[in-house]
Structure 1
Amino acid sequence: MRSAVLVIAGALTVPLSGCASTINPDDAAKSVAAIVSRQTKFTPTDITCPSGVPAEVGVEFDCAFTGPEGKEYTAHVKVTKVQDGEAEFYVVSGPR
């Protein structure tokens, strides 16, 4: 039996926390779920993203989630744009 493997890449935008200085981890998690679902038709569970991530272009961070067959996945996120209280990300995801 073959294992399901998700490997995705795409862009997403999320609102920033507070004074537009950090990425809101809950919003980042929702956005990662949306892009994974949109590209793979699989809805990831247990998504966690770190708190305190600076909202600055070039900053990178990882979110973790449970994918198909209960396997652990990582979504590597890079901030590509920060403007008007929102951050745009580029996301690449795959199994850990």
Structure 2
Amino acid sequence: MKRKYLVAAICVAAALASGACSASVSVGDKQVPADKVAAQMSSQLAATVGRAPDDVTCPEGLDAEVGATVVCALTDQGTEYDVTGTVTSVDGDNVKFDVQVADTPN
């Protein structure tokens, strides 16, 4: 029972934080590698709700252009949610993106 509340807390907190969390990473080849996107998503969600999800996995990198998106899989306590990263700004090699967790599990 406690597990479901924690997953719900992650989703609610992520949704309430200005509609999303925000992350920032440096890139060298105009794409944020999938592992860096996943790590930043996990870090931002941990900062929002007090702990990281069990796992975040991204199928591909995130293009370093405003509006680009990638849908990753967030797993916590055995439940999986889509989590979307959307680029909000690019300043040289610094890419900022919002993180939005889906309202319902997969």
Pick the TM interval, shorter chain.
Answer: 0.7 to 0.9
Judging by fraction of residues, say which structure has more strand: 1
The unaligned stretches of length 5 or more in structure 2 are 15-19
> RMSD of the alignment, in Å?
1.8
What is the alpha-carbon distance in structure 1 between the residues aligned to residue 40 and residue 22 of structure 2?
10
Percent of residue pairs bearing the same amino acid type? 30
What is the alpha-carbon distance in structure 1 between the residues aligned to residue 67 and residue 34 of structure 2?
17
1:66 aligned residue? 75
Deviation sequence 1:6-43 (CA, Å, 0-9, x none): 22121110122x42x21211111110011111111232
Judging by fraction of residues, say which structure has more helix: 2
Tell me which amino acid in the other structure corresponds to 1:13: S
Say whether 1:12 aligns with 2:60.
no
Tell me which amino acid in the other structure corresponds to 2:95: A
TM-score of the two chains, using structure 2 as the length reference? 0.75
The structure with higher relative contact order (CA 8 Å, sep 6+) is 1
TM-score of the two chains, using structure 1 as the length reference? 0.82
What is the SS of the residue equivalent to 2:62?
coil
Say whether 1:79 aligns with 2:87.
yes
Tell me which amino acid in the other structure corresponds to 2:82: T
